[in-house]
Structure 1
Amino acid sequence: MSVINDYDTFGEDYAAETENSLINAYYTRPAIVDLAGDVAGRHVLDAGCGSGPLFESLRERGAIVTGFDSSATMVELARRRLGEDAALQVADISRPLPYPDSAFDDVIVSLVLHYLEDWSAPLAELRRVLKPGGRLILAVNHPILYKMINPESPYFSTFQWTEEHTFNGRKAALTYWHRPLHAMTDAFTAAGFRTAVISEPPVAPGAHELFAEELAGRSAFLCFLFFVLEAV
């Protein structure tokens, strides 16, 4: 039986499936790292860190990284990957975060917000823990994605939808919230952010050789939308 968004149940299989996948390893994570740029010496919060691959990449580039995830299973996987001394804990992005005001230069939120109906409280908390002028770098489902799959769907509404996945042989259901682009940018502005970058990146170098069948005839594809926001 599928369990919706329960990473405590399928987290190990999700981590195994996505470790070297096209969508994650050769698209999402490289795009986030590229947008972050030079992070040496910067204090970075990985919000919804999963099993820790982004945390690891940013730390290798000299960032001082802290991470949290709502799934205890994912935090344990991240700790195995990153070491017992890694600054990791279980926390929920929809609730007050266990960090002081203005603690971070950057916050990374990769593939998290599209699980949430309400963005106002999470964005307010992320703004609180960022220094003035700090950056919120995020990736969410591209707002045109569901409309492309389901042409009769209402693009301009905010609504929930569920998709079945198979991670490392285990079936799982993920439930998302579709919202149009203007609803996203309105939420960013209301929370005290200025949109600096909207990105629809290509895949990373090497992807076409490793995933020739999936990328045949494609120079790029629509999947996620990436933002760099500045705390004002």
Structure 2
Amino acid sequence: MSSVAGEPAAPTVTNDYDDFAEAYAAETESNLLNGYYTRPAVLDLAGDVAGRRILDAGCGAGPLLEALRERGAIVSGFDASAKMLELAARRLGDGVPLVRADLAGPLPYPDDAFDDVVACLVLHYLEDWRAPLAELRRVLVPGGRLIVVVYHPFVYKLLYRDADYFGVTEFSEDYTFDGRPAVLTYWHRPLSAMTSAFTEAGFRIAVVSEPPAAPGAREMFPEVMEKIDNSPTGTFLSFLFFVLEAA
């Protein structure tokens, strides 16, 4: 289990999830982008997970771990935020190994420890993917899967029209999570840089997905969905999803 995080030092600190963990968890529990888009899409891509050992890399407060466990997976998770791990431990109870670790550094797991790893909305915080992908490949069994969700590179170009799409560029965005201000800083990279990083790390790209919102999204968020896309599929650009297979 994780230890309790200290008191936040400031109301708005870049990527300081300890500072806004509870607000982030509350905001993303059942909102459109997380509750009715990202998590359902990851679960669809994962398919039948009964009996599979799955690591959630950057597990946050644990909603995806909980959903995978309910489907019969044997789950573990790590996160860089002690406060997020505290929330995950409270949610999941005993029996789910939770470790404080940073994807940018060595991971505290043996080789071939997992059948699947999920890296959902975490790689795009890192400038250099080489060491993180090598570690994720190391802890996967041969033939294991890495499910990745990242900021869609085309959305970056839509938002920042004068930016160089083909560069690896740092950018920040302001958010309000459950009334709490926060700043998140990302690294944009073009699709070609993503795919090259995956293959150089020893992965085969099995699926590239731009999924629609989950069933029920239009009923829950009718005004938002109408503004985003008038099509009946509910498809819109936000994140990009990959399923990679460890060679």
TM-score (norm 1): 0.99
Pick aligned residue for 1:27 from 37, 44, 49: 37
1:46 equivalenced with 2:56 (yes/no): yes
Residues 210, 240 of structure 2: 8 Å contact kept: yes
Q: Which amino acid aligns with 1:89?
A: V
Q: How many residues align?
A: 232
Residues 12, 19 of structure 2: 8 Å contact kept: no
Residues 111, 138 of structure 2: 8 Å contact kept: yes
1:85, distance to aligned residue in structure 2 (A): 2.6
What percent of counterpart residues are identical?
Answer: 66
Where 2:181 maps in the other structure, the secondary structure is strand
Using the alignment, how far apart are the partners of 2:81 and 2:169 within structure 1?
Answer: 24
Partner of 2:182: 172
Deviations 1:63-120 (CA, angstroms, capped at 9, x unpaired): 0001010000000000000003321111111111110000000000000000000100
Residues 69, 75 of structure 2: 8 Å contact kept: yes
Residue pairs, 1:80-159, within 5 angstroms? 80-159=90-169
Q: Which amino acid aligns with 2:225?
A: L
Residue pairs, 1:145-224, within 5 angstroms? 145-216=155-226, 217-218=230-231, 219-224=234-239
Where 1:176 maps in the other structure, the secondary structure is strand
**What is the CA RMSD across the aligned residues, in angstroms?**
0.7
Using the alignment, how far apart are the partners of 1:126 and 1:133 within structure 2?
Answer: 13
Structure 1 residue ranges (4+ consecutive) displaced by more than 4 angstroms after TM superposition:
none
1:2, distance to aligned residue in structure 2 (A): 2.0
Q: Which runs of 5+ in 2 are unaligned?
A: 1-10
Q: Which runs of 5+ in 1 are unaligned?
A: none
TM-score (norm 2): 0.93
